[in-house]
């Protein structure tokens, strides 16, 4: 085992734990530091110094851990895909494309 090396600073505990799961699925052992910090209600105290971070434990897996973390960070920064919608002919409600029936009146897409 070697000294801990930081590979990722998270926006919050959730994404730190998701990244840890991704890394562990590749056989890479990491630890999360700072995930027990909770900001006061009504304000955001998550600055670089206080946000959770993911740290690699082993020199042999460090390079791959950085690759996975960089890919994860890139995907986190991509805007979410926007779903197309269709307009219900019965009530005019906007419905997401994956649905075939109106949630409001039950009329089919047809």
Residue pLDDT, tens place only, 14-63? 999 999 999 999 999 999 998 776 555 555 555 546 789 999 999 999 99
In this prediction the pTM is: 0.63
Closest CA to 50 of 64, 63, 66, 34: 34
> Could you give the residue range(s) of every CATH 3.30.70.1530 domain in the chain?
5-77
pLDDT at position 41: 52
pLDDT the model gives residue 31 = 94
Query: Is pLDDT above 60 for 8?
Result: yes
CA 86/CA 92 separation, integer angstroms? 9
Average pLDDT, the chain: 85
pLDDT above 90 covers a percentage of the chain that reads: 57
Q: Which CATH number fits domain 5-77: 3.30.70.1530, 3.40.50.300, 3.40.50.2000, 1.50.10.20?
A: 3.30.70.1530
């Amino acid at each position: 085992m070697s000294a801990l090396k930081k590979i990722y600073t998270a926006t919050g505990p959730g994404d730190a734990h998701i990244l840890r799961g991704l890394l562990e699925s590749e056989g890479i052992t990491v630890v999360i530091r700072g995930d027990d910090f909770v900001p006061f209600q009504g304000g955001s105290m998550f600055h670089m110094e206080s946000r959770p971070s993911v740290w690699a434990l082993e020199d042999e897996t460090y390079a791959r851990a950085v690759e996975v973390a960089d890919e994860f960070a890139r995907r986190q920064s991509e805007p979410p895909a926007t779903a197309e919608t269709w307009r219900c002919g019965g009530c005019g409600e906007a419905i997401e494309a994956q649905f075939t029936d109106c949630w409001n009146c039950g009329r089919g897409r047809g």
